[in-house]
Amino acid sequence: MVRIAVIGSGLLGTKIAGCFAYHGHRVKMYDVNTEVLDAFADNLEADKKEIQAEGLMAQPNFLGHVLCMSRLEETVEDADYIFEAVIEDLEIKQDLFEKISHLCHPSAIIATNTLNLDVERITARTAYPERAMGLRFLHPVYAIPEVEISPTRYTAPANIEKVRQMLERMGKTLFFRSGREPLILSVAQINSRKHARREQLARQHGMLVVQRGDAPELGHSGNVSPTLDDDCATVSDRDCAICMDRPRDCLLCPCHHLVTCHECAKSLVNRKDYCPICRKEISETIRVHIS
């Protein structure tokens, strides 16, 4: 299981977080705007219904967890990969990258999802700049296999390879930006990729489909859907979703989510934080003893 942090819980950040959760990874979501963060659970549920209706989801539920965090340091401190998806403002992104780079582990990959801003300038004040890069997920994230990468002159080739392998296991394919302009798919290209994704899911389930010649060229042949018996799903369901060290043994009330250990639940209550799953207020916690 990969530990993901997504900074910015707008529409794009929601889709990125949902895509990683669908593939069994633990995701921590952060946004400085608490109203936007509070709306995240509803937006994620709307996305799930949409992709189910379009036949783009092999499993009825996500296999990982997405946690809404109110503190940036808790969001990124144990992350393996950090994806920034905030507004297109250079100064905001520069400040955010500098701050994140000092809060997270030195080996964590930090990527911006910027459309048009200069990645070199965004990452200019980043500590350990060899792990910073641009990674832009094409819309709609669930159906499009391509991910546009924009490394800086400091980005280490080993980190590019690390990202490539991680995304390939999710059926994503990296491609380097050609020229100054980002790749923007037309409606026809998006529909073509959606159709290819539906055909792929049908083949995985042994259904007879008619092949078409307009499947995406960059789609990785290993683009497979997750399975319910994936090891990462088992680990995710047993360990505290916040610290990942202790077992889940505390029920949050009134929402009744069993997602944290007793120690992490106490921390949430002490700082008057919300349930990291549904963002409801926590009135009390109940210690659960599992035999």
- Would you say residue 81 has pLDDT above 70? yes
Are 3-188 and 239-287 the same fold in CATH?
Answer: no
Please give the C-alpha separations between residue 67 and each of 75, 111, 137, 240, 242, in angstroms, as whole numbers. 9, 19, 21, 11, 8
Read off the tokens for 186: 């037309």
Q: What is the pLDDT of residue 209?
A: 42
Q: Span 260-280, mean pLDDT? A: 91
Residue-range domain boundaries for the chain: 3-188, 239-287
Look at 54-63, 117-126, 202-211, 212-221 and tell me which has the smallest mean pLDDT.
212-221
pLDDT of residue 236: 52
Question: What does the pLDDT read at residue 139?
Answer: 83
Q: Does residue 157 surpass a pLDDT of 70?
A: yes
Give the CA angle between residues 247, 20, 120 to the nearest 5°.
120
pLDDT at position 241: 85
Question: The domain 239-287 is classified under which CATH number: 3.30.40.10, 3.30.1050.10, 3.30.530.20, 3.40.50.720?
Answer: 3.30.40.10
Ranking 71-85, 103-117, 172-186, 201-215 by mean pLDDT, the lowest is 201-215
What per-residue confidence (pLDDT) applies to 237?
67
Q: Specify the pTM.
A: 0.82
Does CATH number 3.40.430.10 belong to domain 3-188? no
**Which amino acid is located at 279 in the chain?**
R
